[in-house]
Amino acid sequence: MASNVNETNDVTLTKPIRCIVKLGGAAITCKNELEKINEENLEIVSSQLRQTMISSENVVSLDWSKRPGTSDISCNVDSFGDQLSFDANKFIVVHGAGSFGHFQASKSGVHKGGMDQPLVKAGFVATRISVTTLNLEIVRALAREGIPSIGMSPFSCGWSTSGRNIASADLPAVAKAIESGFIPVLHGDAVFDDIQGCTILSGDVIIRHLAEHLKPEYVVFLTDVFGVYDRPPSEPYAVLLKEIAVSEDGSWSVIKPTLQDMNKQVEITVAAHDTTGGMVTKISEAAMIAKLGIDVYIVKAATSHSLRVLSGEVRGNVPDDWLGTVIRRSSR
Amino acid sequence: MASNVNETNDVTLTKPIRCIVKLGGAAITCKNELEKINEENLEIVSSQLRQTMISSENVVSLDWSKRPGTSDISCNVDSFGDQLSFDANKFIVVHGAGSFGHFQASKSGVHKGGMDQPLVKAGFVATRISVTTLNLEIVRALAREGIPSIGMSPFSCGWSTSGRNIASADLPAVAKAIESGFIPVLHGDAVFDDIQGCTILSGDVIIRHLAEHLKPEYVVFLTDVFGVYDRPPSEPYAVLLKEIAVSEDGSWSVIKPTLQDMNKQVEITVAAHDTTGGMVTKISEAAMIAKLGIDVYIVKAATSHSLRVLSGEVRGNVPDDWLGTVIRRSSR
């Protein structure tokens, strides 16, 4: 897929990126209620990201805007002495759409293209309004924790596709934002497609592209389940797969746990309304990242397990009491 | 100024751009109340833009998101038959910040640069949150009128400066959005600056740059006064200057009305909190656009005068009953 990419710009970073984090749509929005943020989860996720990104204990909000229903702006300029540092570890945040955008995209068929149809063109506008609304709220939630977050909407940042594969992306802009000490916040978005006119570019595909070109130390997917299971996690006897190895040819094998019946293909659930693919896309994108030699962790958001993996504690040997899935390149 | 610009991309348009419209911050926000949109004005402005952009009488909203305080999404998919066309005249919308962004920018000094200072870096984040909040609301107001509006935040779209002059801008992305039938909506924004680290790029400077490279037929500034006056319009005996000619060397002369005391320099008011300059910037940017041979109209937003000028009625000879200021290249 990457061979199609028409990128003339080399990206150089003075220090490698530590981590690319996916905030899964299901983890930060209420999947069954249209355009509703899971405020509680988002707050915990933002706090965990602050703890792992910023050394300072001091939390000073960088969101100086009015909150809905209030008339005050809180901005304590005195807090920003020279002592205060919010030098952040180099992270990139990418979020999904959850209950934002999917309704608009699936109603209009934006993912299938055809911009000459009024409904598709309308859906393109409506989808972008919905996903940028969510992006702004996530940027604000991170900023309230003192994280210097900067919204970088893929459509605006030059991301486009060709036959639904990535054709262009302004990676130097992402690198420049990181070098300047900001945390870029990207998201699944409606974009132009050279062949079919337009499509939906999923957050998972964005992450794979960023990982391939910016080579982070590790990638974390924060989701609403503990990891990848051998069958839909709602079913009885579903087993959490703790370690998966990906071989050269792209096939996977389960390293942990070692069960007899693990030869059968791992079953996965795809929610019918998920226009960009559910676990199927996630696992196959994760496998492609792992093949690059970058460890991928899939973990439940806003838990002690997500905090441990974000902070890097789980790297190397996975502790027995850690719940989540690691996807790694096969060492054979 | 433009000679510094490092732009490798040629921009080609199949049809010229009809008009670049500035929605002045003072016209669409409540200047004296922090982060408050002037909803009434914004609604009228959006409706006037629809009337001048789209031939169809049928207004079908392209904003399918929930409005604050409501739980419903209104999306009438049946309206989008093949008959429906919202083929728009080629317009670009650029808006100012008004009571959004200025507080955050002036508190922190983002316009003066110095990103190594925590306060400036914090202000950069806070300013972008505030101006992108306004941008989203304007995109939504236009979309509710059936205008296929697409937010294109300058920071994300590759705009940067060098010593506060424009150093780069992804104009091909703007052109591509227009060619695809969308109305790009840009705004004054916090951007990176090669020399001082960061600055505020004003909507007026963006308009001049767009006008220079995309050559619209005319440019309209929608503001909160009827046009340019010979002294602050709040003063008694202030006279509206209806036609100003700009000569090669950049000096202006008032063509209409012909007053005896017009030799003295036109007085202007600059609100103290306006970090990007008030009327001074506007007139000097307008003069630079007019020097390119592109007529510039400064007119009060949400009036019959703004509707007439947007529709192109005022082009050529300015009717006596039209209130506003035209700035043109001197014919001498």
Distance in angstroms (rounded) separating the CA atoms of residues B147 and B42: 14
A86 and chain B: CB distance < 8 Å anywhere? yes
Q: Which of A121, A170, A182 sits opposite B148 (nearest CB)?
A: A121
Assign B110 a pLDDT band (cuts: 50, 70, 90).
very high
CB-CB under 8 Å, A149 with B139: no
Q: Binding site annotation covers B97?
A: yes
Closest approach of A40 to chain B, Cα-based (Å): 19
Alpha carbon separation from A77 to A90, A182, B13, B135 (Å, rounded): 25, 19, 46, 25
Determine the pLDDT at residue B237: 83
What local confidence, expressed as pLDDT, does residue B268 receive? 43
pLDDT in tens, B45-62: 999 999 999 877 778 899
Q: Tell me the C-alpha distance between B157 and B191, whole Å.
A: 10
The mean pLDDT value for B230-235 works out to 80
Neighbours of A251 (CB within 10 A): 10
The string of pLDDT tens digits covering residues B123-154 is 999 999 999 999 999 999 999 999 999 999 99
Q: Check: CB of residue A225 under 8 Å from CB of residue A300.
A: yes
pLDDT (0 to 100) of residue B322: 96
3 state DSSP class of B316: coil
Residue B80 binned pLDDT confidence (cut-offs 50, 70, 90):
confident
Sequence-separated (6 or more) residues with CB below 8 Å from residue B284: none
Nearest-CA distance A297 → chain B (Å): 29
Q: Choose among B126, B139, B153: nearest Cβ to A63.
A: B126
Residue A207: partners with Cβ closer than 8 Å, 6 or more residues away: A20, A22, A94, A219, A285, A289
Q: A139-143, A264-268, B100-104, B157-161 — which is least confidently predicted?
A: A264-268
Tokens read off for A36 = 């509703």
Determine the Cα angle at A139 with ends A136 and A142, to 5°.
Answer: 150
pLDDT of residue A234: 81
Across the interface, do A129 and B64 touch by the CB < 8 Å criterion?
yes
Nearest-CA distance A294 → chain B (Å):
28
Give Cα separations from A68 to A292, B97, B260 (angstroms). 44, 19, 53
Q: Which residues pair with A132 in a beta bridge?
A: none
pLDDT in tens, chain A (332 residues): 333 344 445 677 888 899 999 999 999 999 889 999 999 999 999 999 999 998 777 788 999 998 877 766 777 777 776 555 666 679 999 999 999 998 999 999 999 999 999 999 999 999 999 999 999 999 999 999 999 999 999 999 999 999 989 999 999 999 999 999 999 999 999 999 999 999 999 999 999 999 999 999 999 999 999 998 887 788 888 889 899 999 988 788 888 887 554 444 444 443 333 444 456 666 788 999 999 999 999 999 999 999 999 999 999 888 999 999 999 999 75
Tally Cβ neighbours within 10 Å of residue B141. 23
| Distances from the Cα of A110 to the Cα of A192, B101, B236, angstroms | 10, 33, 56
Residues 106-145 of A with CB under 8 A from B: 107-108, 115, 117-119, 121-122, 124-126, 128-130, 132-133, 136, 139-140, 143
Write down the pLDDT at residue B274. Answer: 40
Q: How many CB pairs under 8 A join A and B?
A: 172
More confident residue, B189 or B284: B189
B236 part of contact set with chain A, CB < 8 Å: no
Choose the closest CB to A148 out of B125, B132, B156.
Answer: B125
Which residues in chain B touch residue A122, judged by CB atoms under 8 angstroms apart?
60, 62, 80, 86, 148
Q: Quick: pLDDT tens for A125-165.
A: 999 999 999 999 999 999 999 999 999 999 999 999 999 89
pLDDT at B269: 40
pLDDT at B281 (0 to 100): 64
The span from the first CA to the last CA of chain B, in angstroms, equals 25
Q: Which has the higher per-residue pLDDT, A59 or B110?
A: B110
Q: Residue B37: what are its φ and ψ, rounded to 5°?
A: -80, 140
Examine residue A257 and say whether the peptide bond preceding it is cis (omega within 30 degrees of 0). yes
- Mean per-residue pLDDT of chain B: 86
CA distance B181 to chain A (A): 9
Per-residue model confidence (pLDDT) at position A230: 80
What stretch of H or E contains B280?
A: helix B279-291
For the stretch B10-14, contacts whose Cβ atoms lie closer than 8 Å and that sit 24 or more positions apart, written own/partner, are: B11/B171, B11/B172, B11/B174, B11/B175, B11/B213, B11/B214, B12/B175, B13/B90, B13/B175, B13/B178, B13/B179, B13/B214, B14/B179
Place of tokens 């509707």: B307
Q: What is the CA radius of gyration of chain B?
A: 20
Comparing C-alpha atoms, which of B279, B238, B280 is closest to residue B259? Answer: B238
Type of residue numbered B320: D
Find chain B residues with C-beta within 8 A of A70's C-beta: none
In the prediction, which pLDDT does A1 show? Answer: 35
CA A160 to chain centre: 18
Domains of chain B with bracketed CATH: 2-57+86-329 (3.40.1160.10)
pLDDT at B215 over 60: yes
Instruction: Of B32, B27, B205, give the one whose Cα is nearest residue B111.
Output: B205
Instruction: Note whether A156 contacts B148, CB cutoff 8 Å.
Output: no
| Residue B309, SS3 per DSSP | helix
Under an 8 A CB cutoff, do B119 and A35 touch?
Answer: no
Identify the residue whose tokens are 């996965």: A268
pLDDT tens digits for range B163-195:
989 999 999 999 999 999 999 999 999 999 999
Q: Is the separation of the CB atoms in A122 and B147 below 8 Å?
A: no
* Cβ B85 vs Cβ B56: under 8 Å: yes
Q: Rounded mean pLDDT of B21-32?
A: 93
Compute the average pLDDT of residues B1-14: 54
Has B278 been labeled as part of a binding site?
yes
pLDDT-derived band at B278 (thresholds 50, 70, 90) equals: low
Partner residue opposite A68 with nearest CB, options B68, B71, B73: B68
| Residue B259: φ, ψ to 5° | -105, 155
> Which of A65, A81, A197 faces B35 most closely, judged by CB atoms?
A65
Closest CA to A266 of A301, A294, A238: A238
Cα–Cα distances in angstroms (integers) from residue B43 to residues A175, B35, B308, in the given order: 39, 17, 17
Nearest CA in chain B to A168: B173
Q: Which residues of A touch B68 (CB under 8 A)?
A: 68
> Is B224 annotated as belonging to a binding site?
yes
Interface test with B, best of A9, A65, A131, A199 (most B CBs within 10 A): A65
Cα(B213)–Cα(A245) distance, integer angstroms:
53
**Residue that has been written with the tokens 């070098």 in this structure:** A179
pLDDT of residue B32: 84
Q: Length of chain A in residues, anyone?
A: 332
CB B145 within 8 A of CB B47: yes
Dist CA A326 CA B150 (whole Å):
39
**Among residues 8-27 of chain A, which lie with CB inside 8 Å of chain B?**
none
Q: Which of B34, B117, B151 sits opposite A73 (nearest CB)?
A: B34
Q: Determine how many CB atoms are found less than 10 A away from the CB of residue A304.
A: 12
